[in-house]
């Protein structure tokens, strides 16, 4: 059972997933602080000093302001990841060589089949001649 677990844990997909989750968590913290300490204060200054302190928004024990902050963080994180992946894909497309499709004419396909059949027949006759 231990060996089976080790094989599972050492597969590339599991390790890649673990790295992705760890980096994603750290990236989420960075974006949350960016939103809380940079973007929201700038927006507040631009619209005339109105504060966006979502933590003060609540209805009794229901703290919907923190939920709104989490939703805003999610959208900013998702958009940031989208832009990052889009940028990475642009570089990949430039680096990959262009693969051209080779179109084989039907006549060439038939000739290749005939060649293969003749080759098999030649081998068949050779085997029977020596026996």
**What's the pTM value of the predicted model, to 2 decimals?**
0.46
The SS3 call for residue 59 is strand
**Does 119 map to a domain?**
no
Cα–chain-centroid distance for residue 129?
60
**Does 43 map to a domain?**
yes
Instruction: Identify the sign of the CA torsion 21, 24, 26, 28.
Output: negative
**Does 21 map to a domain?**
yes
**Over its length of 131 residues, how does the chain's per-residue pLDDT go in tens digits?**
888 877 777 776 777 788 888 888 888 788 778 877 887 778 778 877 666 667 777 788 787 777 887 887 788 778 877 887 888 888 877 666 666 667 778 888 888 888 888 888 776 656 666 55
Is 68 exposed, middle or buried, given 0-12, 13-18 or 19+ CB atoms closer than 10 A? middle
Number of domains in the chain: 1
Q: What is the CATH number of the domain that holds 39?
A: 1.10.1200
Boundaries of domain holding 55: 2-99
**Does 50 map to a domain?**
yes
**Does 116 map to a domain?**
no
């Amino acid at each position: 059972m231990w060996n089976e677990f080790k094989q599972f844990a050492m597969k590339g997909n599991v390790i890649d997933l673990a790295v992705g989750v760890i980096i994603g968590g750290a990236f989420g913290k960075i974006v949350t602080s960016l939103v809380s300490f940079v973007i929201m204060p700038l927006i507040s200054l631009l619209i005339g000093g109105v504060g966006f302190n979502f933590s003060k928004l609540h209805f009794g024990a229901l703290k919907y302001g923190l939920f709104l902050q989490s939703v805003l963080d999610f959208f900013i994180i998702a958009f940031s990841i989208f832009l990052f992946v889009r940028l990475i894909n642009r570089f990949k497309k430039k680096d990959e060589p262009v693969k051209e499709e080779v179109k084989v004419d039907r006549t060439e396909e038939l000739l290749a089949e005939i060649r293969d059949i003749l080759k098999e027949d030649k081998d068949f006759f050779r085997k029977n001649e020596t026996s």
